[in-house]
Amino acid sequence: MSDEAIALSATKGPDATAADIAEIVSVSPAGRTLTLESGATLSIGAGNTLVQPIVTGSGTVAGGTLAVSDKVLVKCGETLTASGTIDLTNAKVELVDPENLTTGFYFIKAAPGATLSIVGKPEAVNLPTGWRIVVSSSGAKIQKVGFTVFLR
């Protein structure tokens, strides 16, 4: 999918101008980083796949497959909402602000009432000691590693 197609699929209404679209969805000049701002929706469409090296933001990905081929840049507390498939097979997760990690959170979460499939488990690049990535049908989250005490 071209950068133009990505921009045109962003929902800001049928009369959205290029400036409106640039506000909510941006693709870096080299086409490497897809940024979805809060309130933006990227509709890939059923049966379509968008391969993007780097993804960041807290917008919504709807339908189709978003394959992240390099990394997901995560800011503590930001959640990308999605339906369809997110392929993280070759992705790494990098926290932009690891010093702010105090509580676990979903960085990718299923949209309300939607089906989400996450393929692969991404590698964590810079999580502080005692934290891990957990992938489930609800999404992908960063959580504190727990421990279990067995009593006899």
In a domain, 25, yes or no: yes
Distance CA 12, CA 121 (A): 32
In the structure encoding, which two tokens stand for residue 60, read together?
């919504």
In a domain, 40, yes or no: yes
Which one, of 45, 52, 39, lies nearest residue 3 by Cα?
52
E strand segments, 75-149: 80-82, 84-87, 92-95, 105-110, 116-119, 123-124, 131-136, 139-144
In a domain, 79, yes or no: yes
Cβ distance 83 to 114 under 8 Å?
yes
Distance CA 84, CA 48 (A): 10
Q: Which residue range is the domain that position 38 belongs to? A: 3-144
End-to-end distance of the chain based on CA atoms, in angstroms?
58
CB hemisphere CA count around 57 (13 angstroms): 22
Which is more confident, 21 or 106?
A: 106
Distance CA 106, CA 115 (A): 16
Strand order across the beta sheet in which 139-144 lies: 41-43, 60-62, 80-82, 105-110, 139-144, 131-136
Dump pLDDT digits (tens) for 26-43.
555 555 788 898 988 888
What is the structure's pLDDT at 70?
94
**Tally of structural domains, the chain:** 1
In a domain, 133, yes or no: yes
Cβ distance 67 to 50 under 8 Å?
yes
In a domain, 150, yes or no: no
Q: What is the pTM of this model?
A: 0.78
Dump pLDDT digits (tens) for 60-111.
999 999 999 999 999 999 999 999 999 999 999 999 999 999 999 999 999 9
In a domain, 151, yes or no: no
